[in-house]
Every structure is written in structure tokens, then in C-alpha cells.
Amino acid sequence: MPQQQWSKKRERQYDHIKEGLEERGRSEEEAEEIAARTVNKERARSGEAEQASRTSTDDISSSRRGGLRSHRGAGGRTRDQLYAEAQRKNIKGRSSMTKAELERAVGR
């Protein structure tokens, strides 16, 4: 849920992210958590937050990273993302698979 200290812009950003995640099939609870984390990270990057972790300020922005790690494109999803999906699908032998093998195993 949006927090009191968020600006109107951050509340709109939260709602937009949450709605997009729900449209893509995420549960409401999961969508709320991801949206809140994304907004808080953007607040930290722009200096709006009182505290900020080093990864919040040094890592590439959430919007850019999402585009780089989408399901399409040169790199596609990371090996860890593919592994997590294989784990959810209970695919055997996933721990020794390469990224390419995981891509084939999860079927995307």
C-alpha cells in the first residue's frame, strides 16, 4: 500500500506498477510488494528517501533493468530467473543445467 510520505507522483507510480503486475497474473499481495519495493528504490535513487542501500543507488534503475531482463531481447531472463521458474515447475536436474538448457526446459 502507498505510504504516507510518498508524493502523488510516487503513489501514481505504485498504482501503475501494481496494476501492470496484476494484469500479468501476479497475486495482489505479490504485486503490492514488488510495486512498493520498486517505488522505494526509485525514491532512494532520486534522493527522496532518508536512507538508501548501496545497491539502490549503484545498480541500474528498475525501469532500465526491467527492459534489459525482459522475456525477449539479447540477454533475455537471467539464469537465476530461469532457475526459479524451473524450480516452481519442479523440473529435475535443474541445478546442473546451463542457461540455454534451462530456457528449453521451462519451455520459453
Per-residue pLDDT, 18? 93
Question: What predicted TM-score, i.e. pTM, was given to this entire model?
Answer: 0.49
Per-residue pLDDT, 3? 53
Q: Taking a C-beta distance cutoff of 8 angstroms, is the pair 77, 69 a contact?
A: yes
Q: Three-class SS of residue 58?
A: helix
Provide CB contacts within 8 A for 39, sequence distance 6+: 6, 10, 13, 14, 17
Per-residue pLDDT, 36? 87
Per-residue pLDDT, 12? 92
Q: Three-class SS of residue 97?
A: coil
Provide CB contacts within 8 A for 40, sequence distance 6+: 49, 56
User: For the chain, which ranges sit under pLDDT 50?
Assistant: none
Per-residue pLDDT, 62? 64
Instruction: Copy the grid coordinates of residue 10.
Output: 510516487
